[in-house]
Amino acid sequence: MYPLAGSQPYPRNQWYVAAWSGEVDEAIVARTILDTPIVLFRDADGHIAALDDRCPHRRFPLSKGWLKDGNIVCGYHGFVFSGSGACVHVPSQARPFESQRTTAYPVRERSNLVFVWIGDREAADEALLPDLAPMHADDPEWELVVGGKAHLQARYMLLHDNILDLTHLSYLHRNSVGSPGISRARVQSTDLPNGLHVDREVLSDTMEGSPLGAALGIQGPVDRLMPQFFLAPCLHVTGPEFRSAMADGVKPGHSYGIFRVIHAIVPETPSTTHYFWGVTRNFKQGDAAMTGVLRKNIEAALAEDIEASEAIERMLAMSGGPEEINCAADAAGAKGRRIIQRMINAENR
Amino acid sequence: MYPLAGSQPYPRNQWYVAAWSGEVDEAIVARTILDTPIVLFRDADGHIAALDDRCPHRRFPLSKGWLKDGNIVCGYHGFVFSGSGACVHVPSQARPFESQRTTAYPVRERSNLVFVWIGDREAADEALLPDLAPMHADDPEWELVVGGKAHLQARYMLLHDNILDLTHLSYLHRNSVGSPGISRARVQSTDLPNGLHVDREVLSDTMEGSPLGAALGIQGPVDRLMPQFFLAPCLHVTGPEFRSAMADGVKPGHSYGIFRVIHAIVPETPSTTHYFWGVTRNFKQGDAAMTGVLRKNIEAALAEDIEASEAIERMLAMSGGPEEINCAADAAGAKGRRIIQRMINAENR
Amino acid sequence: MYPLAGSQPYPRNQWYVAAWSGEVDEAIVARTILDTPIVLFRDADGHIAALDDRCPHRRFPLSKGWLKDGNIVCGYHGFVFSGSGACVHVPSQARPFESQRTTAYPVRERSNLVFVWIGDREAADEALLPDLAPMHADDPEWELVVGGKAHLQARYMLLHDNILDLTHLSYLHRNSVGSPGISRARVQSTDLPNGLHVDREVLSDTMEGSPLGAALGIQGPVDRLMPQFFLAPCLHVTGPEFRSAMADGVKPGHSYGIFRVIHAIVPETPSTTHYFWGVTRNFKQGDAAMTGVLRKNIEAALAEDIEASEAIERMLAMSGGPEEINCAADAAGAKGRRIIQRMINAENR
């Protein structure tokens, strides 16, 4: 299970993002998380429910059915289940038996993200929900734009590797959001309880020729401050602040604004992954053109990350190959791997 | 092998439908039955032959060749085989050797259906052919319309489950051939030597808004009589008679006619299935418009059954999930599973 | 591993064709040979280098990168490797460590073909390169036309079988390059050190109705001389000389010219194969119309061979089937199988 040891591909007793809240407002959502097909819907009280998507009667997907009074009706033989997993109607019976029920998974909504707990139900612990402060999603000075989601034919750890080694911006994203100085920047990382805080300062870098730089109106040399947070097992917050680096020019130290990108990297199966993303910013709130610029630039970079990760996944499907080598820039990525590995190990003690 | 126990997916020493007769009149037919690729063609006497489709010389599909004097010519190197499996010509030899032969499978034609026996040749027993009387295919008062065939990415038992629990008509087929009363009807089942006869009476049901009801000219409440026959391992005969249920209206008890649907459910591989279907009726024989109505309505329902079965098959490909639960309507389906399981067990004693 | 015994699918300590030289002139080439993804490029000296395509840092395909001063730059994080496999630059380090290197494979160019050695490096032996004289590629009296390459969903041995039993020209290629007499011709084979030389004389054959015959201007009966060479493990040279067979007509014994087809049959994986082909001729050199005629006819036949091999591969994926039978025409093919099997056995002693 490169790049992890052992046969268990992911921690199970953790909260994972299963959807953006808005998705469940619009439709019944079918989604596979940690090899488990679930159906998400809002019950009569407006709470999101997560049931196993396999109807316990004949395994037809409940998500192909419909809602009735906040319960979900199976579209095959008409069994009806409440958000708690209890069966509330069986067409051929006067009333359901107690034993006719299905599996419900714990759900929490935070900052427009829907978290589910697929592991042992009795281990579900709200205190393990990540601290989403670095997202600024609930900060009135900031605006959240829900980006969307992507689906990858690649294992989730390749994306943790990707995000924790931002030197790839100078190469993989050289034609989109990258700049040449990033691969040579000084990096400092601090451990968090279940994660990592990495600080990167790219001094006197250039954004000349970069679509992102042009969109932000950057002129001349800039300092690019790039804090990033890994909130294991599935969230990252990244994103730059650009500051004018002209020592004696116009507005030295002037900030062009800050944006933060939220990445939720969620295993679907051992070799496929959901990627939910969004962006918050502290400037030009409500400006649709700026929203469009950020969306377009982030989507361009994301497409490059997806293509790279899927290419690597195809390589991993082949046996053999040279021994893995590491370099100075891999410190944060190596820590990230160890955090995930520790979570897996803790479940097997 | 849900929903069956054990590792053998299907009975082998049985007759299975491999084609409609008309298909073999029109072309050389290649078809995989019980994991075995066969080629079907008519020999010089007009009998249908079934050979293994893998030429014993270099495993090129014989079905890609052509017929010559009722024998089949391999399109790769020109070996020629008779319907008995004997090699009758080898281009590079003066004459074939006795040992140069291939495998032929027993074949019987009945009521426009081609049955083959893929299991142990010495066990082939004509007495095991199903009694096709419920089809009425050879009854001059009835007309047979060959419907066609479909191919499913789903195990065959899901379709036996499907047909033996007709409460799904009220849900899965709610917008096509179903009606709400079916899921609540009284059901009675009788064992047959290798099968099951189930009777279902849906009283005072409505066909309002149903395309099928409109096509048959049904007005007001109807009783829907729904006998069905499972002729294991592969045939079902189903289909309704609609009778006016107006107690004191026009023509109480008036029959709108009877039609019977023939379903042959034949395993291709453990997770794929052939579905051959046809329809017989005792009214409006030769009426092309009525033939069109029946074909259209049955095809619509079949498309829904296929979509459902394939959705379930994808669910079965994932491990885990809630325990299977059953309900009052599952009596016939449970008997059907036991019939198939008994046939498998009998081969392994 | 039909048609070979044992679990090793191919000899590894051999030279295999990985590309036509011209492909590497035009672009960085990514190709999987014997389950091993390699990247081919020309270094600063113009020599072709073959590295493992999996960057040893994070397994991104080096072939998605770019060349800089004859070295290859990884497009993910910017590692740079020379053609010898040494790492010459790591962006986050002042200089690379000695241990930061990757795998390079021996390469030889001969007659426009690029040979690589994927097996044990210390066993690589230039003396094992095939004698390409039968190709006439370096003969000034002959013209080489590089045909191209195809990719098959079929194991390589099916193509050795195919080429070593040319009786298939009378059946599989009956509408393209074949003629009826070939399947009955006298055949004589001579062992070569690592291969086979087969001679076939088709006397008084007809090319009437054959597109190839028309293109070559053949009139009346012809003798078709068909020498062929198997240069194991991957090369074949085939191709006819047509001579007028009119005993007392115009120009008895007149030669319509000779062409030779080069086939390199190279395992990609156990069930997929690369097919490189070209054609040389000793007549109408530089005549674009004749080049077009040969290319079109050979491509038509190749398409038939591909379709047949892939059909057989699908049959081999199913278990069971009749016992393999052989015939008089299989002598050369059987020898070919033994040559490959001996090469495999020699590696396991």
Tens of pLDDT along A224-244? 899 999 999 999 999 999 998
What was the pLDDT predicted at B248?
58
With beta carbons under 8 A apart, name residues in chain A contacting C93.
Answer: 327-328
Query: Cβ B54–C323 below 8 Å, yes or no?
Result: no
Mean per-residue pLDDT, A204-212: 83
Query: Cβ B76–C168 below 8 Å, yes or no?
Result: yes
Mean per-residue pLDDT, A286-309: 95
pLDDT at C1 over 80: no
Residues 6 or more apart whose Cβ sits within 8 Å of residue B249:
B220
With beta carbons under 8 A apart, name residues in chain A contacting B186.
Answer: none
- 8 Å CB contact between C268 and C248: no
Chain C residues within 8 A (CB-CB) of chain A? 32, 35-37, 52-54, 56-61, 64, 73-79, 87, 90-93, 99-103
So what's the ipTM on this one?
0.94
Neighbours of chain C (3+ CB pairs under 8 A): A, B
With beta carbons under 8 A apart, name residues in chain C contacting B77.
Answer: 165, 167-168, 171-172, 183, 327, 329
Q: How far is B211 from chain A (nearest CA, A)?
A: 19
pLDDT in tens, B301-311: 999 999 999 99
- Token output for B266: 């034949």
Q: At what angle do helices A288-316 and A157-164 cross, to 10 degrees?
A: 120
Query: Cβ B57–C324 below 8 Å, yes or no?
Result: yes
pLDDT at B115 over 60: yes
With beta carbons under 8 A apart, name residues in chain A contacting B165.
Answer: 77
Q: How far apart are CA A137 and CA A132, in angstroms?
A: 8
Q: How far is A39 from chain C (nearest CA, A)?
A: 35
- Suggest the residue from C59, C62, C79, C100 to mutate for an interface test with chain A (most A CBs closer than 10 A): C59
Query: Cβ B60–C315 below 8 Å, yes or no?
Result: yes
- Suggest the residue from C51, C76, C268, C271 to mutate for an interface test with chain A (most A CBs closer than 10 A): C76
Residues 6 or more apart whose Cβ sits within 8 Å of residue B172:
A75, A76, A77, B178, B304, B305, B308
Identity of the residue in B172, B311, B323 whose CB atom sits nearest the CB atom of A61: B311
Instruction: Return the percentage of chain B with pLDDT > 90, whole number.
Output: 84
- The nearest alpha carbon in chain A to B170 belongs to A77
What was the pLDDT predicted at B155?
98
Q: How far is B186 from chain A (nearest CA, A)?
A: 9
With beta carbons under 8 A apart, name residues in chain C contacting B99.
Answer: 325
pLDDT at A170 over 90: yes
Mean pLDDT rounded to a whole number for chain C: 94
Query: Cβ C99–A183 below 8 Å, yes or no?
Result: no
Mean per-residue pLDDT, B130-138: 93
With beta carbons under 8 A apart, name residues in chain A contacting C32.
Answer: 318
Identity of the residue in A161, A319, A328 whose CB atom sits nearest the CB atom of C58: A161
Q: How many CB pairs under 8 A join A and B?
A: 87
Mean per-residue pLDDT, A47-66: 98
Identity of the residue in C56, C76, C99 whose CB atom sits nearest the CB atom of A308: C76
pLDDT at C254 over 80: yes
pLDDT at A301 over 70: yes
What was the pLDDT predicted at B251?
61
A246-260, A281-295, B203-217: lowest mean pLDDT where?
A246-260
Mean pLDDT rounded to a whole number for chain A: 94
Confidence class for position A305, pLDDT limits 50, 70, 90: very high
Q: How far is B121 from chain C (nearest CA, A)?
A: 14
pLDDT in tens, B266-288: 999 999 999 999 999 999 999 99
- 8 Å CB contact between C111 and C138: yes
A96-110, A197-211, C95-109: lowest mean pLDDT where?
A197-211
Q: How far apart are CA B1 and CA B317, in angstroms?
A: 11
Query: Cβ C327–B100 below 8 Å, yes or no?
Result: yes
Cβ-based neighbour number of residue B307 at 10 Å = 14
Name which residue leads in pLDDT, C246 or A144.
A144
Q: Is the pTM of this model over 0.90?
A: yes
Chain A residues within 8 A (CB-CB) of chain B? 32, 35-37, 52-54, 56-61, 64, 73-79, 87, 90-93, 99-103
Residue C125, CA distances (Å) to B36, C107, C130 in order:
46, 11, 11
What was the pLDDT predicted at B183?
86
- 8 Å CB contact between B321 and A54: yes
Q: How far apart are CA B223 and CA B206, in angstroms?
A: 9
What was the pLDDT predicted at B280?
97
Q: How many CB pairs under 8 A join A and C?
A: 86
Residues 6 or more apart whose Cβ sits within 8 Å of residue C104:
C49, C50, C51, C52, C83, C84, C85
Mean per-residue pLDDT, A160-173: 96
Mean per-residue pLDDT, B80-109: 96
Counted residue by residue, chain B has a size of 349
Query: Cβ B328–A54 below 8 Å, yes or no?
Result: no
pLDDT in tens, A174-200: 988 888 888 888 899 999 999 999 999
pLDDT at C98 over 80: yes
pLDDT at B250 over 60: no
With beta carbons under 8 A apart, name residues in chain C contacting B54.
Answer: 315, 318, 321-322
- Suggest the residue from C175, C318, C323 to mutate for an interface test with chain B (most B CBs closer than 10 A): C318
Mean per-residue pLDDT, B27-47: 98
With beta carbons under 8 A apart, name residues in chain C contacting B59.
Answer: 312, 315-316, 321, 324
Confidence class for position B176, pLDDT limits 50, 70, 90: confident
Phi/psi for C336 (5° steps) reads -60, -45
Q: How far is A253 from chain B (nearest CA, A)?
A: 55
Q: Are strands C255-269 and C235-238 parallel, antiparallel or unpaired?
A: antiparallel
- The nearest alpha carbon in chain B to C323 belongs to B56
Phi/psi for B133 (5° steps) reads -50, -40
Q: C278: closest CA among C148, C134, C113, C101?
A: C148
pLDDT at A219 over 90: no
Mean pLDDT rounded to a whole number for chain B: 94
Where do the DSSP E strands lie in chain B? 15-20, 29-33, 36-42, 48-52, 66-68, 71-73, 80-81, 87-89, 104-105, 107-110, 113-117, 143-152, 186-192, 195-205, 222-225, 228-231, 235-238, 241-244, 255-269, 272-281
Phi/psi for C224 (5° steps) reads -115, 110
Confidence class for position C211, pLDDT limits 50, 70, 90: confident
Neighbours of chain B (3+ CB pairs under 8 A): A, C
Mean per-residue pLDDT, A66-71: 98
Counted residue by residue, chain A has a size of 349
pLDDT at C137 over 70: yes
Instruction: Return the percentage of chain C with pLDDT > 70, whole number.
Output: 98
Query: Cβ A37–B328 below 8 Å, yes or no?
Result: no
